[in-house]
Amino acid sequence: MFLQRNFLSLALVAGILGLASCNKGGEFGKTPSGIEYKIFKSTSAGKYDARDVSADGDATYKDRIGKIMALHVEYRTGKDSILFNSRKQQMGFPVRVPLDTVRKAQKGGLEEAISLLQPGDSAVFRFNVDTIFAKSFRQPVPPFMSKAGKTMTMFVKVDKVQSREEAMADVQKAQVEQQQKTEAHAADQLKKDDVVIQEYIKKNNLKATKDESGVYYVITNAGSSVKPKAGQVVSVLYKGTLLENGKEFDSSAKMGNKPFDFPLGQGQVIPGWDKGIAQFTKGAKGMLLVPSSLAYGQRGAGADIPADAILRFDVELVDIKNAPAQPAGGQMNEADIRRQIEAMQQQQGK
């Protein structure tokens, strides 16, 4: 479900410009488990020399177990489409990976590939897509990956290896810096998005109202006089499209026309929905025009929603219900737990 804040768990690398030239020359090596690789070690002259690894792996890896590796990474499909780029989508901050013993079950997966890397290395890894999803992601290969070919490529540039204490200090510092960058970018982008949305409203002759948050909403069919309150559970039929080109990325129609239920104002959906749906009454139909900073921002969401994308949602507020009462002491009963699990499964399935 694109409204959820869950992000694709693939952590992907950059250093792409340097690695692209490395990837052109030489043959891939191959581990006994089937991982194809090209590993390059930086020299004192600032160049890169190819480095091979033995069939038993990197003998120095044992000295890094228990530490944290900071690296930039990028994943590409078999058709060379970029799935994720850490430099771009993490605003220049590296991915951090705990280093552990490589068990037999992990051979052929991301864990083994990372165990071959030393500080300062750059590398290109090529995996069989069925193997990598089974071993590292423990899930079936998504259809879009299968259609893109039988391989997945990972480009890597290792930044450094640290103790857990050093890594934690770096992460805390990076979080502050990243939050500052995110807020500055969001504020600037909101101004740009507002101009685009106003032009869209004018071009399509829409009667739109702007919420104080920056979301625009259009009521095309009035409902009752009952508006939802924060904490109440709302049921919404919707279709989500990119404002730029009208491409549909999600809809309740794809899920059998079942309304999507969520507690309003609790941060379980994108801010644009929490703010926008609150303006509708029960039974009302209309449209939300959501600036990127109130949707998925600079990161985007998967392959369908690019960075800084303005979103349009055609919505109908089908129902409003009070949230289920919690038992005394905040304990959940069996029915509550079952409902929560079912809701999580439904949302993750979307």
Catalytic residues: 238, 249-250, 270, 296, 313
Supply angle C-alpha 24, 86, 27, rounded to 5.
20
In whole angstroms, what is the distance from residue 264 CA to residue 238 CA? Answer: 15
Strand partners, 111: none
Q: Single out the residue of 26, 98, 111 nearest to residue 69, CA to CA.
A: 98
Q: Single out the residue of 25, 175, 154, 37 nearest to residue 94, CA to CA.
A: 175
Supply angle C-alpha 128, 134, 139, rounded to 5.
125
**Would you give the DSSP letter of residue 134?**
I
* C-alpha 60, offset from chain centre: 33
CA dihedral 267, 268, 273, 276 (to 10 degrees): -50
Q: Which two structure tokens, joined as six digits, stand for 153?
A: 């490529």
Q: Which two structure tokens, joined as six digits, stand for 7?
A: 């992000």
The number of residues making up the chain comes to 350
Question: Could you tell me the end-to-end alpha-carbon distance of the chain, in angstroms, rounded to an integer?
Answer: 4
259, 252 Cβ separation under 8 angstroms: yes
